[in-house]
Chain A
Amino acid sequence: MAIQLDERTTVTGAETRLLMAECRGPSFPNYTLVAATECMQLMDLVLYNRLKNNPGQFMAKHAKTIIDIIKAPGQFAGFEKYPNYNGAIATNLQSMLNIANKSSDPRHQDFADFINAAIKVAKEVTISDPSGGIAASWRTQGASSPGSNFVKFKTVGGNDFYRLK
């Protein structure tokens, strides 16, 4: 059965798309499903932590849902106008789905596993916070800190994860 993402307007649909866009997928050298899954779990944690911990500090003052967190200005590239989102991201996600659903493509299982991991993480209960505080941000690996009130605690899946100081 073909893999499909939840509707864009649902919380799980929005989060799945963000996870697929932000974590390194099978198109990247050195990709592993284990690292990608951990990356997604930490992102899921960050999103819910933001919702629970004064979302105004993350430009989402009146956030009621994860979608409000995702579309907060200046937070997640290409998602500010969600459910409309950046065309290049949409193209990448569709390419991943196409490969995953084409059984004759030798890469299809890797892509299917990656997408299913994103769907699962978006739907499952958030993991316990391993940061020693409140995990609250991620940055592209090697980029600078998201601000002076953040401390890096983990690098995985092409992203550095930060907790609040």
Chain B
Amino acid sequence: MRSLLGKKPLRKRCYRGLLVAGILSLSVQSVFGATFNVMDDPIFGTAKTTIEAYARARHAKGVNNFCVLGQLTEDRGKSAWIIWRQKKEIILWEGQNLVSTRPRRLIKLDKDVVASEAKLHGSSYLVTRQWVRDLISECDKAGLQAVVGPKG
């Protein structure tokens, strides 16, 4: 599963608390669909604090690397995929308080990924390896990179 997550977490110096380095773009159309800059959005602009609170609520240990990709949906809605590299998870964030309302979708990369669409059998939550690769690639290009360090 290591390969799905790319080479390795981005190299960053770890400071206590939360460090966020974002290389952000305007809303663009990509192979992954239309994306948006979470930091420009009044709801998703809380990404840094939301992720830190969520990581703490899940008792994250050590340094944890995240990537957040805002996605525009067909009905003009917004959501975001959060890639949590150390947990090997992809989390759907729909702007809710992630601590009090857990995500409707939490994809475990060691369990919920299949080789191809033929293996989905109409599943509501399994994803293909290609979809994961595309998401990670797009997030690395256009998403927000976040690091949650040990609690200070």
Contact = CB atoms under 8 A, between A and B. Distances in A.
A17 interface: no
Give the size category of B's interface with A: 20 to 34
A137 B96 CA distance: 25
Contacts of B112: 77
Interface string A6-46: 00000000000000011011011110000000000000000
A38 to B, nearest CB: 12
A142 B33 contact: yes
Contact of B100 (A89, A95, A137, A139): A95
Given A140-B104, A158-B104, A146 B123 contact: yes
B97 A147 contact: no
B105 A75 contact: no
A59 B124 CA distance: 12
B110 interface: no
Contacts of B5: none
Given A24-B94, A76-B124, A140 B105 contact: yes
A34 to B, nearest CB: 13
A155 B112 CA distance: 23
A15 B100 CA distance: 23
A83 interface: no
Contact of A137 (B77, B92, B124): B124
A143 interface: yes
Nearest to A91: B102
Interface string A142-154: 1111111010000
A22 B92 CA distance: 12
B125 interface: yes
A16 B75 CA distance: 25
A141 interface: yes
Interface string B85-100: 0000000101111001
Contact of B123 (A28, A74, A142): A74
A82 interface: no
B73 A141 contact: yes
Contacts of A75: 121-124
A114 interface: no
Contacts of B128: 144
B77 to A, nearest CB: 6
B122 A136 contact: yes
B30 to A, nearest CB: 12
B81 to A, nearest CB: 8
Interface in B34-77: 43, 71, 73-75, 77
27 contacts: A21-B104, A22-B124, A24-B94, A27-B96, A30-B77, A50-B122, A74-B120, A74-B123, A74-B126, A75-B121, A75-B123, A76-B125, A77-B106, A77-B124, A88-B106, A95-B101, A139-B125, A140-B92, A142-B73, A143-B127, A146-B121, A146-B122, A147-B117, A156-B75, A158-B79, A158-B104, A160-B74
Closest 3 CB pairs of A and B: A27-B101, A77-B125, A137-B122
